[in-house]
Structure formats: structure tokens, C-alpha cells
Chains A and B, each alone.
Chain A
């Protein structure tokens, strides 16, 4: 009787230790996966975040999937739906009426491109300002060249 009990305890201990050993010493690596959120950020040229703007997210067919407003940093997060990899995000500024922008997020293409779309693809502001000056100077230059050519012709005719 007593021997049987000791044996039973022994077996139980063995089983328990086997179980615990298998989890501890084998360093089992678990992967749990969860599709987290898509984060969008809305900002004005120059970097001012677009706060409290209305955000509408549409699916491929143009149906409204989710809507909300951006936070103080101009950010809005939403969870993507399994099997749906294209979203159209439309942001409409509330504090600056008349400002609206939209973009298409494609998850299957995004994965290849490190997952950050939009941000950083823009030229820095000062280069764009210089580009604008360039056009205007070019215009002025063309006009001056034309004036010079006209003067020269006038001179030659005399």
C-alpha cells in the first residue's frame, strides 16, 4: 500500500519534471502573430500636423470601412481587415476649411517597400522653394534675352 503510494508520487514527479524540463531547457520559440494597425499621419506643407481632421477610410470598392479624426500629432490608426489589402484614406482638415488630401495604401506593395509610404518621398521644402525661384528667374531671363534680341535687331536695322 505504502509502496504503491510512493511509486505513484514518484511517477507523478517524473511526469511533472519531464513537462517542466521540456519547456525550460528546449528554449521553445513561440510566434504569435497579430496584424497591428496602419498608422497614417496628416501634416501640412512645412510639417505642421493636421489636427482633428476628419479621416475616412474606404475599401477597394469605395465602401466606407472606418472613419475618425486625427489626434494632436495629426495621426490616425486603424486595423486592417484580413483579406483586404487596399485602402483609400481621405483626410479633410477641419481647422483649415478647403484642405483635403487622399492617398491609397496598398499593403501588398507596402510590404516590399519597408512599410512607410508617403513620408520622406517629398523633397525638402527649401529645395522646392529654390525650384520655384528657378522657374521665375528663367522666365525673367527669357524675357531679358528677348528684349536684348529685339534691341539688337533694332540696332542692325538702323
Chain B
């Protein structure tokens, strides 16, 4: 539902979406390259992107509609800033294989989900610096917070994009936000528990821990 289909938004919005997405991907890749080899990250990126890719198939029926998981918060927490290009790849595959979203709106949709993922990464990283405790609970709570905020932001950004269409979409935007409240709750729990699990068994999968730090 946070995927906007082809043929809805106006051309300037679509063009701006693509421009911003391409610019952000370039910045992210340049930035990551300074920190180490991106190629070494690709296997890890693929694993998390697979999760993101299929998450959109888990539909939850709410009222007259059904919404699906987004998991962009998880992407941000686990992949750091590389979540942005990873979300782009995930959305590209979703557009081609599931018909979620579309090619012309790919730029806009990547912004809607990718920017909140970057924010989630920021929250998790800064939170971990502020609370230097090694306890898994505090990390899980931070992860949960980041996951919830990422979905809420994604919904708000999508609503904002639809706002460019004019006032007749206002009620639809209200519905969009309302129906996603359960998703925000569910993803808060999911990201919290995934972070708790990974912090215990495979902390190197959580990229936000090591960016600029342990990793090479």
C-alpha cells in the first residue's frame, strides 16, 4: 500500500523522485566506498534484501483492504546507509515480479521507503552511542523504536506524495495512515525481536553497529 502505482503521480513529481533517488544512491555508494569495499557487502545486502522483497507478500486484512509488511526499518538498522540502494533493488524486483508499484514511480517509492530507512539507521546508531550499555534489551528497544518510526515515516512520505495530487485525495490519505497503524505496531515488534536475535547470534549482520567502527 505504500507502493504508489504507475500513472497516478504527475510527471514533475516522478522526475524529481528519480533525480533524488539517483543522487542519493550515488552519494551512498561514494560514501560507503570510502569506508571499505562495497562488493564485500553484497552477499549480506542480498540476504536482507530478500527479506524485504518477500515481506510485501505478507498481507494483513484490515477492514475493507489489506496492508502488507514493509520492513524498511529493518533494512536501515541492518544495512546502514547501504539500505537505500538495497531498497531500490528490492522495489525494482517487486515492481517487475509482483506488480507492486511500477517503473516510472520507482524513484518516488524508493524515497518513500529508503529515506525512513536512513532515519532508522541514524536513530539506531546515535541511540547506541548515547546508551553504551551492552545489554541486548536496550539494543532491541532501540531497534524497535527505529523500526516503528521508519514505517510511520514511510506512510507519511507516501501520503505527502499523494498530497501533490490535490485535495480530493485527502480522505484517501487519511485511510492510508489509519490502516497502517497496525503495521507500525507489528513492525516495531518484528524489528525489535530481529535485532535482539541478531545481537545475540550474529552481531556482524547489524551494520549500524560497525559502520565506521569495527568494520575494517
Q: Which A residues are within 8 Å of any B CB, using their own CB?
A: 44-46, 48, 51-52, 94-102, 125, 128-129, 131-133, 135-137, 139-140, 142-144, 146-147, 150
Tell me how far the C-beta of A46 lies from the nearest C-beta in chain B, rounded to whole angstroms.
Answer: 6
Tell me if B57 counts as interface (CB < 8 A to partner A): yes
Determine whether the beta carbon of A139 is less than 8 Å from that of B64. no
Q: How large, as a class, is the contact surface on chain B?
A: 35 or more
Chain A residues whose C-beta falls within 8 Å of the C-beta of B141 in the assembled complex = none
Q: How far is the CA of A99 from the CA of B47 in the complex (A)?
A: 28
Q: How far is the CA of A90 from the CA of B86 in the complex (A)?
A: 32
Determine whether the beta carbon of B39 is less than 8 Å from that of A147. yes
Chain B residues whose C-beta falls within 8 Å of the C-beta of A51 in the assembled complex = 64-65
Q: Which residue of A lies closest to B62 (CB)?
A: A95
How does the 8 Å CB contact mask read for B4-40 relative to A, with 1 for contact and 0 for none?
1111100000000000000000000000000000011
Q: How far is the CA of A55 from the CA of B47 in the complex (A)?
A: 40
Chain B residues whose C-beta falls within 8 Å of the C-beta of A142 in the assembled complex = 42
Determine whether the beta carbon of B43 is less than 8 Å from that of A143. yes
Determine whether the beta carbon of A140 is less than 8 Å from that of B42. yes
Chain B residues whose C-beta falls within 8 Å of the C-beta of A101 in the assembled complex = 5
Known pairs A48-B59, A48-B66, A94-B172; A139 contacts B1 (CB<8 A): no
Chain B residues whose C-beta falls within 8 Å of the C-beta of A137 in the assembled complex = 46
Tell me how far the C-beta of B80 lies from the nearest C-beta in chain A, rounded to whole angstroms.
Answer: 17
Q: Which residue of A lies closest to B65 (CB)?
A: A95
Determine whether the beta carbon of B42 is less than 8 Å from that of A139. yes
Q: How far is the CA of A98 from the CA of B6 in the complex (A)?
A: 9
Known pairs A132-B97, A135-B93, A136-B49; A96 contacts B65 (CB<8 A): yes
Determine whether the beta carbon of A136 is less than 8 Å from that of B93. yes
Q: What are the nearest 6 A-B pairs in CB distance?
A: A143-B42, A97-B172, A95-B65, A140-B46, A98-B4, A128-B97
Q: How far is the CA of A60 from the CA of B179 in the complex (A)?
A: 37
Tell me how far the C-beta of B6 lies from the nearest C-beta in chain A, rounded to whole angstroms.
Answer: 7
Q: How far is the CA of A56 from the CA of B112 in the complex (A)?
A: 29
Chain B residues whose C-beta falls within 8 Å of the C-beta of A96 in the assembled complex = 1, 65, 176
Determine whether the beta carbon of A95 is less than 8 Å from that of B46. no
Q: How far is the CA of A44 from the CA of B162 in the complex (A)?
A: 20
Q: Which residue of A lies closest to B48 (CB)?
A: A136
